[in-house]
Amino acid sequence: MTEQKTRVVVVGGGYAGTLAANHLRSRPDLNITLVNPRPVFVERIRLHQLVADTHAVGTVTVDYGTLLGDGIRLVVDGAEAIDTADRRVLLTSGAALDYDYLIYAVGSSGGLPAVRGAAEFAYSVADLESAQRLRHTLADLPSDAPVAVVGGGLTGIETASELAQTGRPVTLVCGGVLGPSLSARGRRSVGKTLRRLGVAVLESVAVSEVRWDEVVLSDGAVLPSAATVWTAGFGVPDLASRSGLRTDALGRLLTDETLTSVDDERIVAAGDAAAPSGHPLRMSCQAAGPLGAQAANTVLSRLDGKTPATISQAFVGQCISLGRELGTIQLARTDDTPVNIVVGGGSAARIKEAICKGTLWAIRREAAKPGSYYWLKGGKRSAQLVATQKVALG
């Protein structure tokens, strides 16, 4: 009689989920299913290029057939709820998937701003459909129509740069300082390039209202804007909270340092939707891939009867594209705090492009050689965080 394989369901087919599914194949006795609402993988780190129509190959989607290893089943559907008692994922179509272990990799989205008119008139670049909608809107506007980008973080910086390179007049409304995650030198490097591209940068002022053809600033000024792009804020799908699992204030699944849900050891999280010890890692591919591999390792360790390892993730910096020809590389300590060292100009742009290409290469390599994925280890997620988790979460 053939022994039934252990069923592992991965919910979410982004960078973390796809890497996790491939990594699980290092053990041959698993039945691996990847659930994703789209039939294609989205290169989220290129959505600002899609909006500006500057990506060389003209698309930011990739066929899962080129990314997933043999034997991984792809289910194109949404996840409505996780029935932890019966270990089932209830799907939007009405179907259900039974699991022995579940990897929760639902990713993130842009936050919904509580600003008058934003929901009606602002555009997002946080997901494929929103980016496509904005691209179509921009295609219908005159090339000299003003655009306002709201949010001084990396997404706002990259979006403003990409649009400005096409010749559009762009204003970046930071709401605070430009590039808050950067060092002083990093902010100067980015600011200099933005000015070179013609982007007007407004710091220490926010948007208080979005209208169909303008934005009202917190100081009362009115800024013309034929299209307002909202990049500030962060949100995650509410699947965990809908399923009765504990989350942090933003909805990320609360886990211990092995990425295991504090409520259910059969559920392991990875990527933007994970909050290990209530202290999530920065939203980035730099964290998503390693977290996917480590989530898979937690499942594999439990199947082998071993104690899972705690997560180990070292950062090296932040890569920022400033149009297609320029960029800034902000170097950082292993705990992700920036140092006052940057690389700018054309070399930084080439490094960023190589990293974007390398991210897909790493997923494909893991599909071909499960267990080969490598990431830098270290950082400062030490006993203090573990103690914090034990006290705060019980």
Lowest pLDDT segment from 92-101, 130-139, 213-222, 377-386: 377-386
Say yes or no to pLDDT of 52 above 60: yes
Q: Which two tokens stand for residue 173?
A: 């409304």
75 pLDDT exceeds 90? yes
Place of tokens 């400062």: 380
The structure tokens listed for 80 are 């409505």
- Tens of pLDDT along 195-228? 999 999 999 999 999 999 999 999 999 999 999 9
Q: 4 or 223, which is more confident?
A: 223
Paired with 148 in beta bridges are 171, 228
Residues 259-300: tens digit of each pLDDT: 999 999 999 999 999 999 999 999 999 999 999 999 999 999
At residue 90, the pLDDT reads: 98
Structure tokens at 52: 């500006």
Geometric angle at alpha carbon 25, from 21 and 26, rounded to 5°:
130
Residue 83 above 90 pLDDT?
yes
* Position 111 pLDDT exceeds 80: no
| pLDDT tens, position by position, 116-137 | 999 999 999 999 999 999 999 9
Give residue 388's pLDDT. Answer: 43
CATH of 118-230, one of 3.40.50.300, 3.50.50.60, 3.30.70.1710, 1.10.260.40: 3.50.50.60
Hey, which bits of 238-308 come out as E strands? 253-255, 267-269, 274-276
What pLDDT is stored for residue 49 in this prediction? Answer: 96
Distance CA 240, CA 177 (A): 33
Q: Of all residues in the chain, what percent carry a pLDDT higher than 90?
A: 91
Cα–chain-centroid distance for residue 357? 16
pLDDT of amino acid 267: 98
pLDDT of residue 233: 86
pLDDT at 383: 41
Helical axes 346-368 vs 285-303, angle rounded to 10°: 20
**For residue 55, what are its two tokens?**
């990506």
DSSP class of residue 131 equals H
Q: Residue 307 and residue 179: Cα distance in Å, rounded?
A: 40
pLDDT at 58: 76
More confident residue, 380 or 315: 315
Alpha helices in 99-153 (DSSP H): 118-121, 128-139
| Tokens at 237, concatenated | 């799908």
pLDDT of residue 113: 80
What are residue 215's DSSP bridge partners? 210, 223
Provide the pLDDT confidence category of residue 23 given band limits of 50, 70 and 90.
very high
Terminal CA-CA length for the chain: 43
Q: CB neighbours of 329 closer than 8 A, spacing ≥ 6?
A: 317, 318, 319, 320, 342, 343, 344, 348, 351, 352
What whole-number distance in Å separates Cα of residue 15 and Cα of residue 295? 13
Residue type (1 letter), 98: D
For residues 310 and 233, the model is more confident at: 310
List pLDDT tens digits, range 143-196. 999 999 999 999 999 999 999 999 999 999 999 999 999 999 999 999 999 999
Spatial contact of 186 and 176, defined as CB atoms under 8 Å apart: no
State yes or no: pLDDT of 391 exceeds 70: no
The neighbour count for residue 52, using CB atoms within 10 Å, is 24
What's the average model confidence in pLDDT over 61-84? 97
**Average pLDDT of every residue of the chain:** 94
| pLDDT tens-digit map of 328-363 | 999 999 999 999 999 999 999 999 999 999 999 999
Q: Decide: 290 and 270 in contact? Cβ < 8 Å.
A: no
Distance CA 24, CA 156 (A): 35
What backbone torsions phi and psi does residue 316 show, to the nearest 5 degrees? -120, -20
- 72 and 21 Cβ atoms separated by less than 8 Å: yes
Residue 2 has a pLDDT of 53
Distance from CA of residue 165 to its chain's centroid? 24
- Residue 132 confidence (pLDDT): 96
